[in-house]
Amino acid sequence: MTERHPKISRNAAEEIAIGAFTFLAADEERMSRFFALTGFDPAEMAAIAREPSFLPGVLDYMLSDETLLLTYCANANLDAAWVPAARQALGGNTAFDAE
């Protein structure tokens, strides 16, 4: 049995991913963990953020940590089912593998 996600447009998916990154960036501890797990440093962010794989990667990162995901969704008043749907809508590979 496959899990079904709501349908979402690419623009809406990008908005969710940008919201997720903004959520991370608003908290120093969250951003520090993001940098630690992705291997990025703040000086690289401007270049990395322009890559087409960045937004899907942010969503992969969020999906790798259920507590973080649920906190983001509560903060954004967003049903958690929209995040994997957004990730699917963005398609493609990511710039990093969150572990």
Instruction: Note the pLDDT tens digit of each residue in 11-41.
Output: 999 999 999 999 999 999 999 999 888 887 7
pLDDT at 4: 59
Inter-CA distances, 89 with 33, 47, 93, Å: 26, 23, 12
Record the pTM: 0.83
What confidence category does residue 94 fall into, taking pLDDT thresholds of 50, 70 and 90? Answer: low
Q: Where are the domains of the chain?
A: 10-90
Indicate if the pLDDT at residue 97 is higher than 70.
no
HSE-up of residue 80 (Cα within 13 Å, Cβ side): 12
pLDDT digits (tens, 9 = 90+) for 54-79: 899 899 999 999 999 999 999 999 99
User: Among 26, 92, 81, 33, which Cα is nearest to 61's?
Assistant: 33
pLDDT at 49: 85
